[in-house]
Chains A and B, each alone.
Chain A
């Protein structure tokens, strides 16, 4: 697998990935919800040609027509964060251009004509922004964007107008969640217009203690300001999470080691693993790896497993649709193989 998740990134003990996306539209056509079939096809062709007729970009991108894909393949692309759930369900003339390293995806005819998205492992928001700007520049040579001096890039939804930019980081926050301090973080974020997605409280374990932090405001700030806001709040969260992990360990090393290693034992020996249980166990194992309690396993390997055990991807690599029970068995098999367990 060539994707971003097999690379190591900075601050990867807390930050799983960094993502930036730009929303863009053609000046001459109505937004996708109001397009005719012909207009939809014109947009699709224009974007595809803008990339594939460019000699240097053409080598690096693959075009996928969403209409031609099976539901399982679509779901796998969603799980890989390469397309959005909305695009996967699209009944319109929609497609996606994906770079070979899977860091860039250009969604065509989602809510907007174009959604340019770049994703990097770890804390690399600047790199993701730079790459987005490059791709945007390439497309701009051939496409006349809907742009207004006052409102910036015009988007279908007024919440994306201006820069059309959403910067987000995916964070693994087990210590903040365990201790309940996550509430303070969420509260602080809400005060400064930063959105947090994920589950906390009862269900945070089931979603693997993963949280996504992103900007809400897109108009009035520059792209760099938006990115640096997210970077600042993220670095503060990282500090809190790390210091809590240390405190938890110092308070009672046996207890934390016991929790982590029990989960590791279950994860690598189970014969049936539900999606929910694996995400919970994976979170404990990740914590163990990050704290040096579990040795010899890389964060990248855990990222890979996180992707592999999702329902769509699981069926994609098996090459056929599986019932939920079959999936749970297959999932346990993959985990055992990947973590090299002998039993």
Chain B
């Protein structure tokens, strides 16, 4: 998220101050944090606080509205409101349950919502197979269009073999 003071740099200092007996939380960039008179960051940034900060400050209005029609994860019982409070999910199913709301949070956190790294071997094999099937299907359509029926039959067999896997 962006610094709450300058709205330009990424905030990576979180601090709490007591104003009129009220705890006030701020998310600032280092530069603004220094200007605020805070010499350093004390406790390492607590991720759940950081997250609840992301969701409660700034563009939080849509979440507040959505929260009135709260969703609950069937597998673990976590509600979206609870998630907003603690910043943590209850199970892998939660990611599907909270769908688009979560996706926009992920985008704000990471600047992306598409994984680009390693994957489990079993998954990478099945992804390879489904990509190969896609490719063969295109060839098949091409073959049918060109009335190459022998070739089409052969492609159809190969697709069937892959689909069994």
Contacts and interface: CB of A to CB of B under 8 A. Distances in A.
Contact of A162 (B30, B89, B117): B117
B123 interface: yes
A177 to B, nearest CB: 11
Contact of B10 (A33, A137, A190, A199): A190
Contacts of B29: 187, 190-191
B106 interface: yes
A25 B105 CA distance: 21
B30 A204 contact: no
Nearest to B117: A163
Nearest to B78: A34
Most central of B12, B29, B87, B102 by chain A CB within 10 Å? B12
Interface stretch (B44-52, B56-64, B137-145, B157-165): B44-52
Given A158-B102, A202-B39, A220 B115 contact: yes
Given A111-B88, A149-B127, A221 B39 contact: no
A134 interface: no
Contacts, number: 155
A186 interface: yes
B91 interface: yes
Interface residues of B, number: 49
Contact of A199 (B40, B87, B111): B40
A34 B76 contact: yes
B114 A150 contact: yes
B115 A151 contact: yes
A133 B118 contact: yes
Contacts of A200: 39-40
Interface string A184-213: 001101110101110111111000000000
A157 B110 contact: no
A220 B40 contact: no
Given A157-B89, A191-B9, A217-B110, 5 more contacts: A111-B88, A148-B95, A152-B115, A156-B89, A163-B115
